Structure 1
């Protein structure tokens, strides 16, 4: 069962719900009583947040289009991918990305929403031996939008995959990344930050499956929730039998800034191999009152001090972005979300 299946069949029975363990905090079946009509094609798309940084822009608009991004062996490319949802209809679409041996891709991906849509996007990403990819995602859905984004990433030995996802959430939003890790000195960095206010909801779900020896993965997720917002983090590291010398680390840390906000976190390790270095950490708390008091004593207004402290908290995720232009836009997005909620 999936949102894409439900959109195709127009049957709410195909929606995942709270009886599905991986979806119990992002219940679509209990939320959606009837499937809306299919979304209409879009004509005027306007400009995207990353257009000025990219040599080329690809679009998936209301499910129309099937972008294919290919980087040849030894070549380098910086591309923008816009996934646009507008109106109150339902749509699903797919994107295929392949980077050949020794190729390098910087993917600047934006999710742009207007209206009360129901949207599903599936990305298939393949990195050949020695390929390098950085994926930077800004998910800017509306408060009425329901969105599910699923990325399946298949790596080859020696590949390097880095990902940073920043989101402001939606009525329901789930961003899921599943990585098939081949070992062989391939490296993965999975980062993200959810910045939620009002009644918005965001679900970060990741699964990294280490299949062979000498693989590394480093994951850092941070969240800030206020008002009646809800953040969900589900991170699973699986080390298969024989995947010795795996080094996998995962951290999730969240700030709750109001009594009615909620964070649900479920970090998991499944280890079936010997001689591995795997760890996970999870913290959920409030702003440091001592730091806030010190800032106010220095003459900084309390609202400004809170914004500064929360930006610094999330800043560790932004600072790990490799692409300078993408990092600058990501920092502006974070500042806008946090200061807009003051």
Structure 2
């Protein structure tokens, strides 16, 4: 239970006892006691058992509490100030409501005593004034405590949000550091190893020219060298920070053209705008995967990467004029499932259009 709720319950209980004890002793009878107990139970149902959100005072509570108070007031007008109990939940959020209720209750009590006796003693006036002052102090104090409780809750929420943001940033930093470590390890081991194998096979081929097995081994070594470099590049998307997505795609197509002789280029349309870092990273990796598929399978002569900035969408197309395949067969070896998972992680979509002999188009989109 929050501090605000405890003060509200204490305020209700104390004021109910304070305002009903005297009239109950004067009037007597069972019905007033039942109605006062019913008012306490009615409050407990709505604010102890149900615990509505702060500031939300249910209308049924006001109506039911008002009817119980009217029953007490009909029995004897000395129960007039009990009406403040119905307003207690409001007093926690609007102190002026509580102050007005206290002053009105005090004036009503004096009016009742004057009508009953035809005069007022200084003792009655002083006692009523003291009760009203105590009520004003109580309302102001409880209201102040409620505001402090709200402020503490707001600060705690802000602190929790800051802690969660810091934890998320630390997780992202940890993931980035691990990716960098993997990239270094792959570069220092597999990539360097493939480079050495390529050099040795080239030297062997110069000694034994036109050897079919050496030629095949050299081609496989070169392809795996390119693939290991692609993996290192994918693990290090730092060029996104340095160049942005459009330039990273241009550099990707330039490398493809330089290393394979394929006519590859990048086209950017629409008005460039900043994208979510995760969206940028996954689009670049989809492009890298699609280009890697072109290297391995397509036997294409031309590849076009198109990045289109739309009003609420960014679309990446990777088109080649290679052999194509039947997407219904699953595209084994084409990494389609990997690209699809990447886009689903950022709430995007992936579409593959291809047919045997008609080339392939990979379309990735995200907001």
Give the TM-score band, short-chain normalised: under 0.3
TM, length-normalised to structure 2: 0.22
Q: Kindly indicate which of the two structures has a greater share of residues assigned to helix.
A: 2
Give TM-score scaled by structure 1 length. 0.23
Identify the structure with the greater strand proportion: 1
